[in-house]
Amino acid sequence: MFSTLSPLFLTDLGTSGALLASGTALSEATNHESDQFVSIFWITLVALLSPILSRLTGKKIPDVVFLLIFGLLIGPNMLNLANTEGGIPLLKELGLGMLFLIAGFEINVSSLRSRQGYSAIATWVVCLALGMAGAAVITSFSHELNTYIAVGVALSSTALGTLLPMLKSHGAAGTPVGNAVLVHGAVGELLPIFAISLLLSSR
C-alpha cells in the first residue's frame, strides 16, 4: 500500500513545489515590472519638472542642470527612486543616442576645416597628451599605455549635447563665443569617440 502511495505522494510534492516555484517567480516578475513603472514615473516627472523650473528662474539655470541634479537625486546612488533594471537601460541608451544626434545636427562641418577648427584639434591633442602624462606621473608609469590613453581620452572629452542647451538658453548661440564653444565642443566630442573606438578595437 505504501509502495503504491509513495509515488503519488512524491508526485504531489513535486507538483506543489513546481506551483510554489512558479508562484514565486510570478511574484518576482510582478515586482520587477512594478519597479520599472515606478522608475519610468520618476524619470518622466523629472523630465516634466526640469523645463518648468528653468522657466521659473528666467532660464538663468538651463533645464539640463535640473535634469542632472534630479538624476543624481532619484538615481540608485542616492534616493534609489529609479533603478537601471528592465527597460530603463534601453531608454538610457536611446536618450544618449538622441543627445549625440541633436549635437551632430548643430555642427557645421565647414567650421571644422577652418582655422578655428584646426586650433580646436591642436588643443584637443595637447589636452590628450597632458592627460596621458598626468596619469602616467600619478601612477609612476606602472600601467600599460592603453590605460593612459583611456584616461587621456576621458579627461579631454566634452559634452556638447549638454553645452548646447546652455548656449541657447543664454542667447549665446551664433555669437563668436558660441561658435568657438561649438567648434571646440564638437572636436572634443568627435575625436574622443574615434580614439576610444580604436582603443577598444585593439583590445
Per-residue pLDDT for 126 more than 90? yes
> Rounded distance, CA 9 to CA 22, Å?
20
Average pLDDT over residues 158-186: 82
- Please report the pLDDT score of residue 122 as a whole number: 95
pLDDT digits (tens, 9 = 90+) for 2-17: 445 455 444 454 544 5
Of 25-34, 35-44, 100-109, 148-157, the range with the lowest mean pLDDT is 25-34
Amino acid identity, residue 143?
Answer: H
DSSP 8-state code for residue 107: -
Amino acid identity, residue 128?
Answer: L
Tell me what the pLDDT averaged over the chain comes to: 81
Q: Pinpoint the alpha helices (H) of the chain.
A: 2-56, 63-74, 88-106, 109-112, 115-138, 145-155, 160-169, 176-202
Q: Give phi and psi for 68, each to the nearest 5.
A: -65, -45
Three cell numbers, residue 125: 591633442
Of 30-44, 68-82, 122-136, 185-199, the range with the lowest mean pLDDT is 30-44
Per-residue pLDDT for 61 more than 90? no
> Rounded distance, CA 164 to CA 64, Å?
10
pLDDT digits (tens, 9 = 90+) for 69-111: 999 999 888 998 888 777 788 888 888 788 778 777 877 888 8
- Please report the pLDDT score of residue 28 as a whole number: 58
Residues 6 or more apart in contact with residue 130 via CB below 8 angstroms: 152, 155
Q: Are 193 and 140 in contact (CB under 8 A)?
A: no
Average pLDDT over residues 146-168: 86
Three cell numbers, residue 153: 581620452
Of 18-32, 64-78, 101-115, the range with the lowest mean pLDDT is 18-32
Three cell numbers, residue 189: 566630442
- Please report the pLDDT score of residue 30 as a whole number: 60
